[in-house]
Amino acid sequence: MDTGTESGGGDAFAARVMKKAREVQHAAVQSRAYEIGDGGPTTLDRGEELAMYGTQTGKVTGGDVLPGSRGWKGLEEWYSWIPSIFEPFTKLPDPASFDPIISSFDLVISQFGGHPDDPRGKRGDRIDSTIWGNMDSVANNVMKWHGRAAATFDEFSDPFQYIPHNHCALAHVLSQSTKANQQIFKSARDDIFAIADAAIVALGGQTSSGGTDVSFNLTVVAAVAGFVAAVPSFGATLPIWFAAVAAGAAVGAELAPKGDNHKENKLTANIRGNTTDTILDSMVDSVKRFERLVEQEEDKIVRILRSNLEVVNSKNSQADIVAPRPDLANLRSGEIDSKMGPPLGRPN
């Protein structure tokens, strides 16, 4: 069985897809030639007959259809549409192209003291930020301060310890969403080969005495399962309760495939039929269903990210994301004497 994750990407994958598509076409020609030569149909589609024999009588006009014969070449032309069904999948992104983006997000997570697979950090309740770590020593130094100035400083500095958590959380959500998107295309590459291989087996097993039913697995349905599950649980531990907490559960429940054939993070599908053309019809239906599944998996990511974006952009969240700017930073040198100097009438 061929897969989309074998060595060689980019054009190599596209070439393998089209090679597999031509194998499906060849299997269809063989199957249909067997049907006609076995004395099965007594009539032909007029277009099929025209391609095979150059006539339009509506009847089978020849005996066995052998490789190299006019009838065989006519069937090759008749089924020349099959590669076009698979051609759009040659443009699936190379999963390796996501690696630099993922590495960038994971670097950001590590700079905040987190780990890509454990963004909360070892202490669980906070991230050991290498950027904001000095805030602990600052807090110790000002513990002995008293008065209005000390209280104002505490109020100003308290949010700093939460901001790194949220920055790390944002990087984590983006990293996980990119990894989920990468997994979609890894699975999609494998699944399109699974459909083609099932079609070839079905066409090869079809006989005049009965039909055929070949099952195969579509793994793309589980591509973002980890993202949907992980992002909500991570967000719930943060000062900003990311919208994925609600959106992730809703999206997962709404779009997850239903039915007994959805087990073990895969969807079992079938290609079936009792003639060449009914098997091909089943194959086309499977391809269309597969396209919808890929769109649904991508939609899960988009909806979760959109929900999180709304939370991040809300006015209520800004104080938990953007560090407050002290008024002193906005003062010009000429203003410091009047604003920061000792009160008038009091000795220096």
Spans of all domains in the chain: 8-91, 98-133+145-324
162 vs 166: CA distance, rounded Å = 7
Give the pLDDT of residue 248.
Answer: 42
24 vs 29: CA distance, rounded Å = 9
Cβ atoms of 87 and 21 within 8 Å: the answer is: yes
160 vs 137: CA distance, rounded Å = 13
What 3-state DSSP class applies to 265? coil
Find residue 269's DSSP bridge partners: 216
320's tokens: 């938990």
Cβ atoms of 53 and 104 within 8 Å: the answer is: no
Give the pLDDT of residue 134.
Answer: 56
Tell me the whole-structure pTM to 2 decimals.
0.75
CA–centroid distance for 46 within its chain:
44
Closest CA to 119 of 133, 105, 131: 105
**Segment (H or E) for 268:** strand 266-273
182 vs 176: CA distance, rounded Å = 10
Is residue 329 exposed (0-12), middle (13-18) or buried (19+ Cβ within 10 Å)? Answer: exposed
Give the pLDDT of residue 301.
Answer: 86
Ranges under pLDDT 50 in the chain: 7-10, 119-126, 128-130, 208, 233-239, 241-257, 259-260, 262, 339-344, 346-348
165 vs 213: CA distance, rounded Å = 53
Give the pLDDT of residue 251.
Answer: 45
Angle of helix 46-53 relative to helix 70-78, nearest 10 degrees, comes to 140
Give the pLDDT of residue 35.
Answer: 84
Give the pLDDT of residue 217.
Answer: 86
**Segment (H or E) for 217:** strand 212-218
How many CB atoms are closer than 10 A to CB 203? 27
